[in-house]
Amino acid sequence: MKKYVLIFFILLFYLHTSAQEKDKTWQLNGHLQALEDLWIPPSSAQWQTMTSLYNRLDFKWQPVNALTFTTGVRNIFNYGQMVQSGFPLISELATKDEGLVDMTWLWADDTSYFFYSNIDRLNIKLKTGKFEATAGRQRINWGINMVWTPNDIFNSYNYFDFDYVERPGCDALLLQYYTGNTASLQFGFKVDQHLYAIDSAFKITAALMYRFNRRGYDFQFLGGVMRDDAVAGLGWSGNIKGAGFNGEASYFLDKKQLFDTTGAFVGSMELNYMLKNGVFLQGGYLYNSAGTTGPAGWGTALIYAIDVSAKNFTKARNSLFAQASYPFSPLVNGTAALIFNPNDKSGFAGPSLDISLTNNISLFLIGQIFWGKSMTEFGDYGTLVYWRLKWNF
């Protein structure tokens, strides 16, 4: 099986480099990058480094107007002290595939390195008139906010995994019918392998969502099931006197105890505003009724965090977010982000600098600074510093 996957990767690259533009009914894009990571533990432990070499290929083929085939492949080679100290857990977590079909391959690993590939997009879309159907591994994006997205019940993502800009997909069927210029009805259905479930290895998420626009606001309502819970949710996007105002909320209730248990309410709101000098401000708040008001414990901010979902972004009851970004020049953009748990007084700060070196080469610098007492939400991580050189093609 491995040799056929490698042949597939080589064929995609060959097509990209050899075909003539005028003959194409397809397109191939991607990037190649090097990411260097320095971890400074919160204690007096030794600093550690890790290097990640990452290639991505995104392939689309449209043989006729009504059909589109999409494939997205990630190839990642990690090595360094952080791999060695986390061996073999770090490679096991990185290569977990909860899809109905396992499309992640660990090609090689040792005490100080591991190399794997992952197909996170592999689908076919049929579009005719007002109707669209997409089947296969895809991203069903029902979230509205930037940081916490309680409506994103199909494929939630980890905010701290900044380097995965495409975000994970899921093995699913998505049906969409456009009832108007700004309104649509969507039905999503997926089966995945919930690798940490006790009662069953396979879990179903299925829901219906209606989107529409009223008086300058986009609204959405959804209802269905997410793994072990029945779920109902709503979201909106609009503005208040020039400031963007977004929000979404979902209520989760155990399917087996619909009338015997109290559910979990997860809601988030965000505001954003552009100042005249070009500074872009964002702020957000998350409420999780099932969260704790005491020390939230570690686990939320791991890049390879287990079971991040729309129900479980954090173990905390309340969370605050703020961010400011400023374009110092057309080629340099700076950002500073902050997340704070007001109950256990722990937090995260993320300063970053994005520099365009050429039209398709960029340098990105970011720090992830965590603070707080031990066993608070962010108290046991220390500091991570990254630099990334990236070539887009």
Confidence (pLDDT) at 43: 82
Q: Is pLDDT at 11 greater than 70 in this prediction? A: no
Quickly state the pLDDT bin for 12 (edges 50, 70, 90): low
Q: By mean pLDDT, which of 141-150, 197-206, 329-338, 340-349 is the weakest?
A: 197-206
Quickly state the pLDDT bin for 193 (edges 50, 70, 90): confident
Task: Determine the Cα–Cα distance for residues 209 and 224; give it in Å rounded to an integer.
Answer: 9
Confidence (pLDDT) at 36: 98
Mean pLDDT of 46-61: 97
- Using CB atoms within 10 A of its CB, is residue 20 exposed (0-12), middle (13-18) or buried (19+)? exposed
Q: What's the distance, Cα to Cα, between the start and end of the chain in Å?
A: 28
Q: Which two tokens stand for residue 121?
A: 């997009």
Q: Which two tokens stand for residue 353?
A: 């600098």
pTM of the predicted model as reported, rounded to 2 decimal places: 0.89
Most confident of 5-9, 49-53, 164-168, 193-197: 49-53
Nearest 10 degrees: Cα torsion 156, 119, 364, 269: -10
Q: Which two tokens stand for residue 130?
A: 């007002």
Q: Which CATH number fits domain 2-392: 3.40.190.80, 3.90.79.10, 2.40.160.10, 2.40.50.140?
A: 2.40.160.10
* More confident position, 2 or 84: 84
Closest CA to 12 of 119, 166, 141: 119
Confidence (pLDDT) at 19: 46
Mean pLDDT of 17-38: 80
Q: Is pLDDT at 18 greater than 70 in this prediction? A: no
Task: Determine the Cα–Cα distance for residues 218 and 269; give it in Å rounded to an integer.
Answer: 14
Average pLDDT, the chain: 91
Q: Is pLDDT at 195 greater than 90 in this prediction? A: no
| Domain limits, the chain | 2-392
Computed from CA positions of residues 82, 86, 88, 92, in that sequence, does the dihedral angle turn out positive or negative? negative
Given a contact cutoff of 8 angstroms between Cβ atoms, the answer to whether 99 and 78 are in contact is no
Quickly state the pLDDT bin for 199 (edges 50, 70, 90): low
Confidence (pLDDT) at 194: 65
Q: By mean pLDDT, which of 16-20, 67-71, 280-284, 350-354 is the weakest?
A: 16-20
Mean pLDDT of 116-133: 97
Closest CA to 171 of 204, 126, 208: 204
> pLDDT tens digits for 138-190?
999 999 999 999 999 999 999 999 999 999 999 999 999 999 999 999 999 99
Percent of the chain exceeding pLDDT 90 equals 79
Quickly state the pLDDT bin for 20 (edges 50, 70, 90): very low
Could you tell me how far CA 101 lies from the centroid of its own chain? Answer: 20
103 phi/psi in degrees, rounded to 5: -120, 35
Given a contact cutoff of 8 angstroms between Cβ atoms, the answer to whether 254 and 261 are in contact is yes
Given a contact cutoff of 8 angstroms between Cβ atoms, the answer to whether 379 and 372 are in contact is yes
Q: Is pLDDT at 356 greater than 60 in this prediction? A: yes
> pLDDT tens digits for 216-265?
999 999 999 999 999 999 999 999 999 999 999 999 999 888 777 789 99
Residue 7 DSSP one-character state = H
Using DSSP, state whether 144 is helix, strand or coil. coil
Task: Determine the Cα–Cα distance for residues 304 and 160; give it in Å rounded to an integer.
Answer: 10
> pLDDT tens digits for 275-286?
999 999 999 999
- Report the phi/psi class of residue 231: left, alpha or beta, with left for phi > 0 and alpha for psi in -120 to 50: beta
